[in-house]
Amino acid sequence: SEPAVSMSAVVEALLVSGYMLSSSTLLLVNKNALLSFPHPSSLTAMQYTCSSSAAAFLMSLGSSKERHYLNPSKMLVFLPAAALFYASVFSNTKILQHSNVETAIVFRSMTPLATQLIETFCGTAPTPTMPMLVSLLMILMGAAGYAHFDSEISISAYSWAIFYVIVLSAETVVCKAVITKLQLNTWGLVLYNNFIALLLSPVVNLVCTGRILD
């Protein structure tokens, strides 16, 4: 049993490292994309289109058990999670538009604390242990220290950053519950998340700006 545990730990470490690399790289790519193409709504709409199309294509290559076709009733159940996903992506682009990549990364690091508090309050996770709580509070103190010494601080950037932390934490909790209920795999999650967000994009933009795209 010892090798199996060790292999599991290695796999988890690789997954976490891969997430860190892809997440930070995505922020850098989005920041550069916004500098060249300063239209957040149009940019994210193109990203949703590419992501949902890629997920649908890759799913079609797998076995029938791995395929999750778009179903209206499932889309309705997934709507709250997708709406929060859309809000988190949109607020993230706003942070990058008004500030730098470092600010986005620092505030994103606060989401584990907020997520833990939400899950504990909702009863979906046990009360954090003291070492876990201390670790999360240290992250919070680090973020507060960064905000205090940030030379590029602006009300707009930090307002979007706080909103981002709230919606991203809520999205994590809601999305976890929805995935469990609908029994979606990774490609199904990507497809539903991005396709519904793509449908929401022109509606939200029309309400907020009076235009379908910016």
Counting every residue, how long is the chain? 214
- Tens of pLDDT along 17-40? 888 788 778 888 888 888 888 888
Rg, the chain, Cα only: 19
Q: What is the dihedral of CA 124, 127, 131, 134, to 10 degrees?
A: 90
* The predicted structure's pLDDT at residue 213: 67
Structure tokens at 159: 């307002």
Mean pLDDT of 158-187: 86
- Tens of pLDDT along 97-150? 888 787 888 888 888 888 888 888 877 777 878 888 888 888 888 877 877 777
- Tens of pLDDT along 75-84? 999 999 999 9
| Cα 14 to Cα 214: distance, rounded to the nearest angstrom | 38
* The predicted structure's pLDDT at residue 82: 92
The confidence band for 1, taking pLDDT boundaries of 50, 70 and 90, is very low
Mean per-residue pLDDT over the chain, rounded: 83
